[in-house]
Amino acid sequence: MSDIIASTSQQPSPGVIVTLFEIDATELGGSLMRFVSGTFNGTAVVFDSNTYLPLPIEASGFQWSGGGSLPTPQLKASNIDSQFVTMLIGLDDLRGAIVRRLRTFAQFLDNGSNPDPTAVFPIEEYRIERKTLQTSTEVNWQLASVLDQEGVKLPRRQVLRETCTHRYRRWVNNVFDYSKATCPYAGTSYFNEQGATTSNPADDKCGQRLSDCRKRFGNTATLPTRAMPGVAKVR
């Protein structure tokens, strides 16, 4: 933590904390997006010469536990303007993208009363592990700490502990499209993204968890998952 942040935090009235988010998909072939929570005046802010656009964002679970386990935050962002749709489709739900949370006080913004780009709390950095919800109004992701083996790369793909990176078949024009699928499942048992049984093949979507793989291939089968649960044991 910078000295000015430490000293300001000890003051009786330190000021308003501004929370900034960066979603960095450049490693995936996308762009770097910067947002400020829409609850802060609802206008764009500039910090360290970078512009952060207003967007309703809710983040939770950043606290570290006393037992030493690493946090797995949840990030919820508005999708009303469909700003994430293209990247969700083209960049595999943004899995593997970096999410940074920066916090500073309003007076240290570029147009604040005391601009200072060094006045920032320790920057928290996570990777998107999986998308947990997508509707016409919002997108939710589960994040994982970059310290927890996330981002470690083997040739041609990333290590993700709980998420399979296979591309699942798609229901198109009343038939399954396997043209871009890498998952070998071709069965007639259907499950939705939450893992519930469905009779409608159009709702057949894999949640990409180990439990989803077992539903399709069986509890005793050798699973073709690309998830690597064992990395949680590597320290």
Q: What is the C-alpha R_g of the chain?
A: 20
What are the tens digits of pLDDT across the range 134-168? 888 889 999 987 765 444 444 434 555 567 878 88
- Residue that wins the pLDDT comparison between 211 and 68: 211
Contact by Cβ (8 Å): 5, 103:
no
What are the tens digits of pLDDT across the range 41-80? 778 999 999 999 998 888 887 665 555 566 778 899 888 7
Both structure tokens of 179? 């043209």
| Alpha-carbon gap, residue 17 to 9, rounded angstroms | 10
The identity of residue 55, as a single letter, is: L
Residue 151: the pLDDT is 46
Q: What is the pTM of this model?
A: 0.60
| Alpha-carbon gap, residue 198 to 188, rounded angstroms | 11
Q: Where are the alpha helices (DSSP H) in the chain?
A: 3-9, 85-90, 210-217
User: In 3-state terms, what secondary structure has residue 108?
Assistant: helix
